Structure 1
């Protein structure tokens, strides 16, 4: 049922459709839920502190699943993992459609998190495999298409969610995964190869580090449970996370075939700062995505569809900014501009109220589009020049995990400040939290001298 190999001298463009559809499954489910939280809370009688788990559960599953599935793709190829991911995604959609309460919805989101993990690592694996098969560099246009596709889904996610809710209620935001999963499955079966060029070039499969995976998962689960209910009585969870984390690090240093090679941290302080910057930037970004969206519905009284449309300029401006400035090699000024943009956004949120004019809300959305467009791009480019080239895969996977950690922090903060309802007082408290994170992001960027060397590397002034 698979197609024959593509032309020997160029990228097989039949792979583009399954790559793109698989890669969008995670971002569409990350953003579409933003406008569904308030309708779900109303329908099921759940406070904001419980609906926050619908966000955190997906990011927890994805944080664990992304490096795990990436490892499995390396071991067994992209086809098998893409098939499994599509099946899990469709199953999660069915469970969400019939879920009677928040607990079952959380289970659906966990399954969704693991199911949607396969798309991105499978796509990156296929691009590398095509480079091996053709003996040429894969076209830059393929990487650009993959990036723009996932960014576009982030653009339309909240808007699509609002329209689906308008037509079919909040359950439609889960039901949409059924046709998406079916499309991914069919495209995978018809176009993804059973065997790839990388399989012949790679070493023996090795083994799966089950203990490392278990310790990694235990660390993240303990940390998230603490973040979801921060109080002195829960400090034991933070201690448990530290114990599991220490055990994970020690085991990964001792094993010959680690789940995550923690050695990438050794002696690379600039890389650690980049990871910290990723956590801070993602925290602010997702606080806006989830917190501001909930307030638009609960505090400002907008419909889910209109709330999604208010967010649309953020992601539209983000795409334009990324397209215009992404071609410039300099990195430091992009990080500074992005951090300043997040500071300005947080300050603006301190002054909005339940009677805020629609044009003012749209202006905030436009302002947020600037950091949305350049921060993640700059962080990824920074990591590219700081990482050990022989460990680029592990280093990049860890970057995504740290970004998911920021998303989980944002979800926890949103649940804490909107404990019972998404009101204006809670939004202002959340804005102060965002402002603190943005200021720290700005400060560590301004004092980070290693970024000057990164700029020299990016512009070709230093080898």
Structure 2
């Protein structure tokens, strides 16, 4: 019951123009991360080398995973809309610079900047949604569902869009498409009545910026980047000297975060909340598998099947169609039956898709088989994403839910980085039938581990479908 006596369930939803404006910027992250999955082959061909090409994707995700948790705090100091618009500007600057990149190193730097820009939109959009709902006594549920649905839909459609753009105009087009998208988003957000959201009247900007856990952020980036480089090196000449650096940085990071007043990642909260730890661990594994499909199959379609970027994108279209339907079905299942059943469905579908990839995806397989496998691969993420986000809301308090969602997104982006490592180890950098089959068996094995974990879990709330949002 609110202070005015109005029950939240009876409140009118946030107007569509506001929901759409906020969603318009938050789609840039799934759009860019999915388009690059198809364009990476064309980029390697254009630069004449595949050396370090996977770091284009990794740089974006490392930057995103590091910057996303900071977005909420920056929005609370400078205003959520101002930070949202700054992210759009960063994407535009980086996209323009990327069109003139002459080396792989320059393109890696461009995507690191894009990653920083796109990382701020979902956290600041959520801040603006909640602030608008509180000021005007509106329900935020529909707006949050809009943000999630738009992100899921664009992520699923991204390979098709990226394939069409790359095949028609070249890989540079996946960069310049960001410019009109960002301009339209900026115009919509500036017209929306959300300028009041997140601005702190009690904390100076300088004090808040000084309060950022810069050392924790740098240590986290060091752990992720050196850990990835070590794992990738195992395929050829293992760089064992990186392992003590990674482990040492991880130990220092944990020790510092335990003592920090306002840590980058609250490891003390994680230690106290085992259900949250389990959910984040499950999220890490499911997103690693998801991005193995997301990055691996488009590359395989082009290198082994000889498809153009356009054809590969169209072949991935069933992932988009089924993914959108699975998201809606997962939301309904969570609301009616709870997150456990939703996660069982999503994880079983992940197991089936892994087996199908390992058994049926061959250079000689009929196109119809490829489309069926793509359709099945569209099911897991919709159910798993909804189920895990529901659990984050259920296993954290109202005051901690923002931090929980922030850690959820960081873990999801870390899973994308691990997927790059898995693909490198399984395929040796050049994906063929055998390499893709190893990826499929990795997905199937991971799914079995997840199913066992769900079956034996005793800390999963049984009533989360009543309290968690169906987003």
Q: Same fold (TM over 0.5)?
A: yes
| Equivalent residue runs for 1:395-414 within 5 Å | 395-414=404-423
| Equivalent residue runs for 1:9-28 within 5 Å | 11=14, 13-28=16-31
Q: Hey, what does 1:253 align to over in structure 2?
A: 258
Paired residues, number: 448
Distance 1:459 1:124, change over 3 A: closer
Q: Hey, what does 1:270 align to over in structure 2?
A: 275
**1:244 and 2:244 matched:** no
Q: Hey, what does 1:152 align to over in structure 2?
A: 153
Q: Hey, what does 2:5 align to over in structure 1?
A: none
CA distance in 2, matches of 1:75, 1:239: 38
CA distance in 2, matches of 1:217, 1:75: 24
Of 337-346 and 276-285, the range deviating more from structure 2 = 337-346
**1:45 and 2:32 matched:** no
1:86: how far off? 1.2
Distance 1:325 1:342, change over 3 A: closer
CA distance in 2, matches of 1:457, 1:193: 30
Q: Hey, what does 1:4 align to over in structure 2?
A: none
CA distance in 2, matches of 1:189, 1:298: 44
Q: Hey, what does 1:3 align to over in structure 2?
A: none
**1:337 and 2:345 matched:** yes
| Equivalent residue runs for 1:244-323 within 5 Å | 244-323=249-328
Distance 1:220 1:75, change over 3 A: farther
Q: What runs of 5+ residues in structure 2 fail to find an aligned partner?
A: 1-10
1:194: how far off? 4.1
CA distance in 1, matches of 2:24, 2:250: 35
1:108: how far off? 1.1
| Equivalent residue runs for 1:2-401 within 5 Å | 11=14, 13-47=16-50, 50-134=52-136, 136-191=137-192, 193-196=194-197, 198-199=198-199, 206=208, 207-230=211-234, 233-328=238-333, 329=335, 330-351=338-359, 352-401=361-410
Q: Summarize deviations over 1:254-286 as a string: whole Å, max 9, x none.
A: 232323322221222222111111111011111
3-state secondary structure, aligned to 1:326: helix
Of 423-432 and 202-211, the range deviating more from structure 2 = 202-211
Of 299-308 and 214-223, the range deviating more from structure 2 = 214-223
Kept after mapping to 2: 8 A contact 1:32/1:158: yes
Kept after mapping to 2: 8 A contact 1:339/1:371: yes
1:225: how far off? 2.1
CA distance in 2, matches of 1:163, 1:457: 41
Q: Hey, what does 2:450 align to over in structure 1?
A: 441
CA distance in 2, matches of 1:310, 1:437: 25
CA distance in 2, matches of 1:298, 1:168: 20
Kept after mapping to 2: 8 A contact 1:414/1:430: yes
1:200: how far off? 6.0
CA distance in 1, matches of 2:162, 2:283: 27
Kept after mapping to 2: 8 A contact 1:315/1:372: no
Of 76-85 and 27-36, the range deviating more from structure 2 = 76-85
1:14: how far off? 4.3
1:409: how far off? 0.8
TM-score (norm 1): 0.91
Kept after mapping to 1: 8 A contact 2:27/2:154: yes
Q: Summarize deviations over 1:398-446 as a string: whole Å, max 9, x none.
A: 1111111111111112233333522112212222222222222222122
TM-score (norm 2): 0.89
CA distance in 2, matches of 1:404, 1:145: 21
Kept after mapping to 1: 8 A contact 2:284/2:415: yes
Kept after mapping to 1: 8 A contact 2:78/2:200: no
CA distance in 2, matches of 1:399, 1:276: 10
Kept after mapping to 2: 8 A contact 1:227/1:409: no
Query: Cα RMSD (Å) of the superposition?
Result: 2.2
